[in-house]
Amino acid sequence: MRSYTLTEARNQHGEVFDQAIVEPVLLTKQSRPSHVIMSFDIYRHLMERLTELEDMALGKAAEAALSQSQMVGTESFVESLKQLANGET
């Protein structure tokens, strides 16, 4: 990843944006990371991949919860609700 100071980025913005098409560009302020500039295509790809990974993690968490669950089946649950609604215990 190419790095520029904020001053360099301001003075060489054309070069910075051209580089950002190829790969993300790190901007620094007082020698510390400050911002990253990247093309929309790279950003979109990162966001799509992040969504995929989040979905995978949530799916695995749901599978783990289901495998450890002691929930009753749907029929039993619905029947229990009906009994409660009818005042039966």
**Exposed e or buried b for every residue in 49-59, given b needs 16+ CB within 10 A?**
eeeeeeeeeee
**Could you state, in order of their start, the residue ranges of all structural domains in the chain?**
2-38, 41-71
- At residue 24, the pLDDT reads 97
CATH number, span 2-38: 3.40.1620.10
Profile the chain (89 residues) by mean pLDDT over runs of 10 residues.
96 97 97 97 96 92 79 77 82
